């Protein structure tokens, strides 16, 4: 988590307070640099670092796109199941992100107790059904 936040912030962090708000650490609401070329370059750098498709089907680079990309980079695979709105990532803590990642991880007993595993499996099933071609 610490390394990912440093990469997104584009600076070294001597220590990361687990209860610090990500918006304060990362300087939300948009990538540092304000102009659109910088924003595009930083979004491309995020995709290069964390993988293509952080924000599928997004053609404009806006603060909303940036928040979606940051959320996807920090949550990893858990972003598919997480019920958080991208607009809220700036008010989440590092501890909250870690807890959300663990919650959706396979084999996590805390996820079983809260129905998260069942929700994850149902979401996977819905995704699989959406991909089935019924045209013919």
pLDDT at 111: 47
What is the average per-residue pLDDT within 57-71?
Answer: 77
pLDDT digits (tens, 9 = 90+) for 36-56: 676 677 777 777 777 777 776
HEC-encoded secondary structure of 1-35: CHHHHHHHHCCCCCCCCCCCEHHHHHCCCCCCCCC
Looking at every residue in the chain, the average pLDDT score rounds to 74
Domain ranges of the chain: 2-131
Task: Say which residue, 33 or 109, is predicted with more confidence.
Answer: 109
> Does the pLDDT value for residue 57 go beyond 50?
yes
What is the average per-residue pLDDT within 14-42?
Answer: 73
Cβ distance 94 to 16 under 8 Å? yes
pLDDT at 47: 79
pLDDT at 33: 46
pLDDT at 19: 92
pLDDT digits (tens, 9 = 90+) for 87-118: 899 899 989 999 998 888 765 555 445 555 55
In terms of Cβ atoms closer than 10 Å to its own Cβ (0-12, 13-18, 19+), residue 62 is middle
Cβ distance 20 to 94 under 8 Å? yes
Distance of alpha carbon 79 from alpha carbon 97, whole angstroms: 10
Place of tokens 């990362």: 26
Q: Which residues of 84-96 are buried (b: 16+ CB within 10 A; e: fewer)?
A: eebeebbebebeb
pTM of the model: 0.67
């Amino acid at each position: 988590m610490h390394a990912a936040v440093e990469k997104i912030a584009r600076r070294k962090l001597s220590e990361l307070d687990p209860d610090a708000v990500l918006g304060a650490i990362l300087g939300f609401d948009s990538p540092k640099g304000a102009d659109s070329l910088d924003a595009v370059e930083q979004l491309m750098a995020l995709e290069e670092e964390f993988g293509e498709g952080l924000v599928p089907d997004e053609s404009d680079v806006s603060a909303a796109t940036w928040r979606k990309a940051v959320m996807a980079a920090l949550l990893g695979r858990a972003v598919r199941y997480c019920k958080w709105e991208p607009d809220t990532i700036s008010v989440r803590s590092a501890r909250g992100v870690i807890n959300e990642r663990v919650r959706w991880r396979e084999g996590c007993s805390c996820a079983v107790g809260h129905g998260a595993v069942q929700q994850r499996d149902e979401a996977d099933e819905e995704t699989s059904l959406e991909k089935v071609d019924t045209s013919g």
